[in-house]
Structure 1
């Protein structure tokens, strides 16, 4: 993908394929121009993915703490409801969501796309963070309560810092899903508000396939996730293996 994005059109279709060639940034200049407007779609993806991830963490971590620390009626049913939302395939609900959004005239509204991403991001946060909160000794909470600390103080100042690896991992996984998601973005965005994966699909028209532009766009879409994953890989491995060894 990267090598094709750096080839000219003649080099891309050359037979046999060229392994050694003089690279060019022509396709990157093309897709970032007014014709394809990939730069704006990358900004849209960043806004939507970041907003959905932050909201998922803000809403999911208190829910995970409540499930890990408190006993109440139908707790197991609530836990299963959170997880079952993640089990659901997006293609099953895209049609009713599209029809409902059309009636409410929400097609093209980024808030709708963020809300749909929360449907799948919050369960990931709840799932990972609940196990992380359960691994924190209850004695810490009891000691803080003896000193007069409120439940909110215990959550923010004691439990949340200790559960930070789980929060980081759930944030990483949520961001990657939100950044790469195509199905909902394809149906629920329009015009200048489309995300980068949707913009990449718009290059296909008839028999003319601009492989250079497609590969350059794919490289720009993948590159932020690759760099982000490399920077936080240590936290990712630590969070995914937490609880495996007692």
Structure 2
């Protein structure tokens, strides 16, 4: 086995540090800005360490009655889209993986193609459809549109994941008298929990962070947290401190879910990628 030289280890360490800095710098900026007064937020050069500490931005965000509404709307839409995407995508992925039909396997690439379509290209047609169905401004319109893209990802991922589950275990269950649905429910599904959790995390985060669809399809009553952040921007300028505080509230739920389910997410992604 090739032993890494001191230079290679040093280079790898530097690359890791630069990568961590690249991804964490915006989060750090967001964090410190949320605790700054306006004069420090606009200071040039930026004050990264030494500034007057304040909780006023968080007080303004928490005292705003709309903040709770934004969070509740995001929770409803994200959990709704996640549940619907899994309900449609998991059985479809299993059916494609176990069908043995070339036509169905070929059709799975349709879902991959759908993921390549820019969401903005489908926005106007969906807007017109929801308008004709009188669903504009409702939770249902946003959940359905998110599900179109989310379910496609779930189907593609679960197809690969179910392909890794040994068929022999399901066949043994069938020999013992189980139905095909019973084999799926009692054998394939429990073995695929990491993949389902990984898909659910992706779908939840995608729906939680969605801005474009929410901007076009929601009403003031159903606005989600990304649109709440937009409220920090006005004609007279940007309240950077309030925007940063609201952004921290926005990323907190997705961050907590990802941290608690991180091991399932990594296992699901790696196992689902072993077969295509």
SS in 1 for 2:234: coil
SS in 1 for 2:232: coil
Other-structure match for 1:139? 168
Other-structure match for 2:133? 104
Residues 72-98 of structure 1 deviation map (CA, whole Å, 9 limit, x = unaligned)? 473134312222222211010111211
Which gives a bigger RCO, structure 1 or 2 (Cα 8 Å, sep 6+)?
1
Structure 1 residues 82, 245: CA separation in 2 closer, same or farther (over 3 Å shift)? closer
Q: Which has the higher helix share?
A: 2
Q: TM-score, normalised by structure 1?
A: 0.92
Take 1:26 and 1:34, find their aligned partners in 2: how far apart are those partners? 12
Other-structure match for 2:253? 224
Q: What pairs up with 1:8-19 in 2 under 5 angstroms?
A: 8-18=37-47, 19=49
Q: Unpaired segments of 5 or more residues in structure 2?
A: 1-29
Other-structure match for 2:56? 26
Other-structure match for 1:179? 208
1:161 pairs with 161, 171, 190, which one?
190
Q: Unpaired segments of 5 or more residues in structure 1?
A: none
Structure 1 residues 158, 93: CA separation in 2 closer, same or farther (over 3 Å shift)? same
Aligned positions, number: 245
Contact 2:232/2:238 (8 A) holds in 1: yes
Take 1:222 and 1:207, find their aligned partners in 2: how far apart are those partners? 26
Contact 2:157/2:272 (8 A) holds in 1: no
1:196 pairs with 197, 204, 225, which one?
225
User: How far did 1:129 drift?
Assistant: 1.2
User: How far did 1:243 drift?
Assistant: 5.6
Other-structure match for 1:49? 78
| RMSD of Structure 2 on Structure 1 (CA) | 1.9
Q: Is 1:117 aligned to 2:146, yes or no?
A: yes
User: How far did 1:107 drift?
Assistant: 1.1
Other-structure match for 1:65? 94
Residues 138-172 of structure 1 deviation map (CA, whole Å, 9 limit, x = unaligned)? 11121111111101111111100011111111111
Q: TM-score, normalised by structure 2?
A: 0.83
Take 1:196 and 1:6, find their aligned partners in 2: how far apart are those partners? 20
User: How far did 1:189 drift?
Assistant: 0.3
Residues 25-58 of structure 1 deviation map (CA, whole Å, 9 limit, x = unaligned)? 21112123347x1221011101110111111112
